[in-house]
């Protein structure tokens, strides 16, 4: 199993999708659907930045689980997938 699924590219894809899905689910859970209306983005930049940071915690937890199962390449891909979200969060905060 480790040889087939232990891929950097699969980890990168999961690492890029997981925080986005987490942020969308969190947005709809707490009732911020109006976030995507025109003009609301500029007013809520700090909220979006914090939400992106919260989304990266899902990636960090997944990285820990992958390390426990010795899927090293996939864990590296997930860690690389965190970088764009951390950069965006720092810019928005």
Question: For 25-45, what is each residue's pLDDT tens digit?
Answer: 887 777 766 666 666 667 777
What value, to the nearest 5°, has the Cα angle with vertex 47 and ends 62 and 22?
A: 25
Longest dimension (CA), the chain: 48
Q: What pTM value is reported for the model?
A: 0.77
Give residue-wise pLDDT tens across range 33-90.
666 666 666 777 787 788 888 888 888 999 999 889 888 899 999 999 999 988 988 8
User: 57 with 18: CB under 8 angstroms?
Assistant: no
Check whether 1 has a pLDDT greater than 70.
Answer: no
Look at the chain and report how many structural domains it folds into. 1
Domain that holds residue 6: 2-92
């Amino acid at each position: 199993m480790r040889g087939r699924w232990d891929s950097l590219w699969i980890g990168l894809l999961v690492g890029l999708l997981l925080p986005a899905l987490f942020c969308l689910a969190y947005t709809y859970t707490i009732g911020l659907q109006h976030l995507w209306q025109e003009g609301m983005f500029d007013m809520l930049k700090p909220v979006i930045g914090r939400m992106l940071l919260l989304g990266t915690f899902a990636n960090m937890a997944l990285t820990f689980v992958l390390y426990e199962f010795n899927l090293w390449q996939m864990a590296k891909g997930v860690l690389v997938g965190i970088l764009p979200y951390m950069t965006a969060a720092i810019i928005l905060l």
